[in-house]
Structure 1
Amino acid sequence: MLRIDPASAEPPFAQLHDQILTQVADGTLTPGDRLPTVRRLAGDLGIAPNTVARAYRELEADGVLEGRGRAGTFVKSTVTAGKTAPAVASARAAAMRYAEATRSLGLAPAEALALVRQALGT
């Protein structure tokens, strides 16, 4: 079940993105599964339709979901359930969580980037 935590520092679209990504990775959502329509999911979660649409668009760009016009949005058939979702999608989700954490700690963007460069050894 998808949920949005209104008290979270993470934006709702990012929460939704990460939850869908996790469900694909752990096999809860399998290739070919149809996701709720943007309007239906937005209504169920109490968020704006554009928020759901943004999460779906990013997951499509990451190669996790595919839109089939009026038929709806589906988990892409080339995604392997039970394995890590595409690396770019996972890295983007981790980067968003890191950015939120460093903002909440009061670090300047330059400081946060310096820490990442240090961790990467660059």
Structure 2
Amino acid sequence: MSGPIIRIDTSSHVPPYEQIRAQLAALITSRRLPEGERLPTVRQLAADLGLAPGTVARAYRELEAASLITSRRGAGTRVASLPSSATAPDPTALAELARRFVTEAGKLGADREIMLEAVRKALDQLP
């Protein structure tokens, strides 16, 4: 997996395994991680994030249960093929992204109206 980076917010009320699951689910369903893309091993991602391997393993199990990834001994863990209905954004990932935006914008001194205007402008600039 080269490119998108998983980040863990240790101050978040969301458990680390859920942060991993939500971020990877969002990357997969948005197709930023394409079908067949190899993911890091549980041990490698855990080491990269400074987490216990069991935390990453739980996230991977949940992604596999959701049919977003497949794991095979010897072949590693890869992004699964998605049905066309799987392109809807993950609500949990969207909520986490919105929370991070609001937190960071608040640190800049933005109030609710300024934040909403910033989002509207960003939406207006989409192709």
The interval holding the TM-score normalised by the smaller chain is: 0.5 to 0.7
User: TM-score, normalized by length of structure 1?
Assistant: 0.66
Moved over 3 A (4+): none
Whole-Å separation in 2 of the counterparts to 1:22 and 1:60: 14
User: Deviation string for 1:59-111 (max 9, x for gaps)?
Assistant: 0001101001122100112455x8226xxxx46x47xx7xxxxxxxxxxxxxx
SS of equivalent to 1:70: coil
Structure 2 segments unaligned to the other structure (5+ residues): 97-127
Distance 1:39 1:79, change over 3 A: farther
Residue of structure 1 in register with 2:41 after alignment: 37
> Does 2:35 match 1:7?
no
2:88 to 84, 87, 90: 84
Contact 1:67 1:74 in 2 (8 A): yes
2:68 to 61, 64, 68: 64
Whole-Å separation in 2 of the counterparts to 1:62 and 1:2: 19
2:59 to 40, 55, 58: 55
Whole-Å separation in 2 of the counterparts to 1:32 and 1:77: 7
Structure 1 segments unaligned to the other structure (5+ residues): 98-122
1:39 CA drift (Å): 0.4
Whole-Å separation in 2 of the counterparts to 1:79 and 1:22: 15
User: TM-score, normalized by length of structure 2?
Assistant: 0.63
User: Which structure would you say has the larger RCO, counting Cα contacts within 8 Å and 6 or more residues apart?
Assistant: 1
The letter of the residue matching 1:51 is T
Residue of structure 1 in register with 2:28 after alignment: 24
The letter of the residue matching 1:57 is R
Whole-Å separation in 2 of the counterparts to 1:55 and 1:83: 20
The letter of the residue matching 1:7 is S
Identity, % of aligned pairs? 46
